[in-house]
C-alpha cells in the first residue's frame, strides 16, 4: 500500500506541467482608444485579444508595454463561422499597430477563403 501511495504521488508530481496557453483579453465597446483600453504590461505573456464588432466604423483599442528588445508578434484571425466567414475581405476589420514614436502599420486580411483568415506580422 505504501508503494502505491508513493507511486501515485510521484506520478502526480512528474505528470504536472504548467499550462501553456494564451491569456484572454476581451475588448469592450468602451475600449475605443488606446488610452481607454486595457494595458498589457507583460511582454513575455501571449495574449489572445478578442473583439466583436456590430457596426461599420467601430473601433476598439488596447496598449502593450514592451521592454526594450522584446519582440511584438501579431496574428490576426477571423473565426470560420457565419457571419464572419461570409464577409468579403473589404468588410473585415483592419488592425493598426502604432509605436511610441508614431510609426504605424495597418494589417488587413486579403483572403476570401472559407478557412480561418490569418495575417501575421
- The residue among 34 and 1 whose pLDDT is bigger is 34
Strands 95-98 and 63-64: unpaired
For cell 484571425, the residue is: 77
Work out the average pLDDT over 38-46: 91
Work out the average pLDDT over 94-117: 76
Tally of residues, the chain:
121
Q: The pTM is what? A: 0.71
Q: What is the pLDDT of residue 54?
A: 87
Domain borders along the chain are 20-120
What is the full DSSP assignment across 27-84?
--TT--STTTS-EE--TTSPEEEE----STT-----EE-PPTT-----EEEE-SSTTG
Our measurement of the distance from residue 11's CA atom to the centroid of its chain's CA atoms, rounded to an integer in Å, reads 34
Q: What is the pLDDT of residue 97?
A: 92
Q: What angle do CA 13, 17, 39 make, to 5 degrees?
A: 140
> Is-contact 62 24, C-beta < 8 A?
no
Amino acid at each position: 500500500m505504501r508503494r502505491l501511495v508513493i507511486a501515485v504521488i510521484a506520478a502526480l508530481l512528474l505528470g504536472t506541467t504548467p499550462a501553456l496557453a494564451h491569456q484572454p483579453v476581451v475588448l469592450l465597446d468602451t475600449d475605443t482608444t488606446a488610452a481607454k483600453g486595457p494595458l498589457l504590461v507583460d511582454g513575455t505573456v501571449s495574449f489572445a485579444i478578442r473583439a466583436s464588432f456590430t457596426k461599420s466604423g467601430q473601433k476598439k483599442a488596447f496598449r502593450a508595454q514592451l521592454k526594450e528588445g522584446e519582440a511584438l508578434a501579431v496574428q490576426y484571425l477571423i473565426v470560420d463561422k457565419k457571419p464572419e466567414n461570409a464577409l468579403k475581405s473589404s468588410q473585415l476589420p483592419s488592425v493598426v499597430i502604432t509605436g511610441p514614436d508614431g510609426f504605424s502599420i495597418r494589417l488587413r486580411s486579403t483572403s476570401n477563403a472559407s478557412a480561418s483568415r490569418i495575417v501575421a506580422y
